[in-house]
């Protein structure tokens, strides 16, 4: 066991994680972001109240913050409709490209949990 840890330490010695990977993992690893993305992958677009109802335990304030962050990262799009007070959220092309990532996470979690 100690030898395996030493081997892993040697492998990572002098190695830095790619900044793009670090940035991506910061976004995807932030609490609630994965669940927001998953909900929007399941349904093409959702109103705020429907998103809030589908993500149990996330306060409206935090959901609003996370949606804004995901919008700033061009993963989520906030859609307004002229002449209506309707606003909904959907995934951008960038967000939709997370589908295989989310499928892999599902497979991993099914296997290990």
100 has pLDDT over 60: yes
pLDDT reported for residue 12: 56
Q: What is the pLDDT of residues 12-70, one digit of tens each?
A: 555 688 999 999 999 999 999 999 999 999 999 999 999 999 999 999 999 999 999 99
64: containing domain: 18-112
Q: Is residue 87 part of a domain?
A: yes
pLDDT reported for residue 96: 98
Q: Say what the pTM is.
A: 0.83
pLDDT reported for residue 83: 87
Confidence of residue 85 (pLDDT cuts 50, 70, 90): confident
| β-bridge mates for residue 46, sequence order | 89
Q: Is residue 28 part of a domain?
A: yes
Question: Taking the CA atoms of the chain, what radius of gyration do you get in angstroms?
Answer: 18
| Nearest CA among 30, 95, 93, 99 for reference residue 63 | 30
What mean pLDDT is predicted for residues 77-104? 96
Q: Is residue 5 part of a domain?
A: no
Indicate the number of domains in the chain: 1
Q: Give all strands of the β-sheet with 76-80 in edge-to-edge order.
A: 45-47, 87-91, 76-80
Q: What is the pLDDT of residues 1-10, one digit of tens each?
A: 555 555 455 5
pLDDT reported for residue 43: 95
CATH of residue 40:
1.10.10.10
pLDDT reported for residue 88: 97
């Amino acid at each position: 066991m100690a030898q395996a840890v030493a081997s892993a330490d040697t492998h990572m010695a002098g190695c830095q994680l790619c900044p793009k990977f670090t940035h991506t993992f910061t976004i995807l690893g932030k609490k609630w972001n994965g669940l927001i993305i998953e909900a929007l992958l399941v349904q093409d677009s959702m109103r705020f109240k429907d998103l809030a109802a589908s993500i149990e335990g996330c306060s409206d304030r935090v959901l609003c913050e996370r949606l804004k962050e995901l919008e700033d990262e061009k993963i989520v799009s906030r859609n307004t409709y002229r002449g209506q007070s309707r606003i909904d959220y959907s995934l951008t092309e960038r967000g939709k490209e997370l589908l295989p990532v989310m499928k892999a996470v599902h497979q991993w979690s099914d296997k290990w949990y």
